Amino acid sequence: MRELGACRTLLFTPGNRPERFAKAAASGADGVILDLEDAVSLPDKAPARKTLMEFFVDKKSMFGMRVNNIHTPTGVADLDALVASGARPAFVVLPKVESAFEVQLYARLLKLPLLATVESARGLEAATEIANSDPLVQAIAFGGADLAVDLRAELAWEPLLWGRGRIAQAAATAGISAIDVPHVALDDEAGLRADAARVKAMGFSGKLAIHPKQIGPLLEIFTPTAAELERAAGIVAAYEKAGGNVVEYQGKMVEGPIVKSAQRLLALARK
């Protein structure tokens, strides 16, 4: 599996459906999130938790786990089970995060890579603190569906644009990745591609997925093309040859910010 912060797409799979785990891993996604939260009903959470603790008795490099929010009884039970069992998912997804303290609690007890999801007005207000709360936070995700409910807003591009911007800004302050909310319309590939292209332009490095058929389009959009990499390498080489001075490359003037963008693209490709 890629480093969590370099993942272009992560596929959600219900934690109570172990027969789907292998299929999810074969989807082409950079990683799979075995879900104990929204995808599992309350009566099924305890048996699903037991299933995942047994599954993660050995570290699975492809699979992470989404726990329930720490402010709920099921969330407390999830954290207790992870600590007591010694289960080792590749990463842990924290839902509905609203403070840096919540993240620091998991970081201190689990010492695993973390993906913090912001899904409320309070969480959005604290997004910068959440992103910078601990070095184990490798990415921050935009939870648009729950946020729309909390804001009493429509789950659409324009009403949530400013929220996405806050997540992109928070990720940038911490030097970590921003990952976008899943596209919920399964038969809308055009909409999926359009949303992915727009968040990529905003600085997001990936998007969550809820069905294997979403993986191909997302990988296509978030993977740098050979031409993009060639241009980035050319920009860096020309700038270095000029001794760090402003230089012309392919008819355009190249200076510090453009070089940094090219270097970031090349570093992401290496990961």
Chain-centroid distance, C-alpha 3: 11
* 62 contacts 32 by C-beta, under 8 angstroms: yes
C-alpha span between 246 and 261 (Å, rounded): 15
One domain, residues 184 and 92: yes
One domain, residues 185 and 198: yes
pLDDT value, residue 1: 62
pLDDT value, residue 17: 96
**78: Cα within 13 Å, side-chain hemisphere:** 26
Q: Which helix (H) or strand (E) covers residue 106, if one does?
A: helix 100-110
One domain, residues 208 and 176: yes
pTM, full prediction: 0.88
Q: What is the phi/psi pair of residue 80, to 5°?
A: -60, -40
One domain, residues 216 and 233: no
Contacts of 44 by beta carbon, 8 Å cutoff, 6+ apart = 16
pLDDT value, residue 43: 96
pLDDT value, residue 252: 80
One domain, residues 53 and 144: yes
One domain, residues 185 and 261: no
Q: For residue range 200-236, list pLDDT tens digits in order.
A: 999 999 999 999 999 999 999 998 877 777 777 777 7
pLDDT value, residue 67: 98
One domain, residues 116 and 242: no
pLDDT value, residue 271: 60
Give the residues of the chain that fall short of pLDDT 50: none
pLDDT value, residue 79: 98
- Domain of 137? 4-222
Return the closest-CA partner of residue 9 out of 17, 1, 18, 20: 1
- Structurally, the chain folds into a number of domains equal to 2
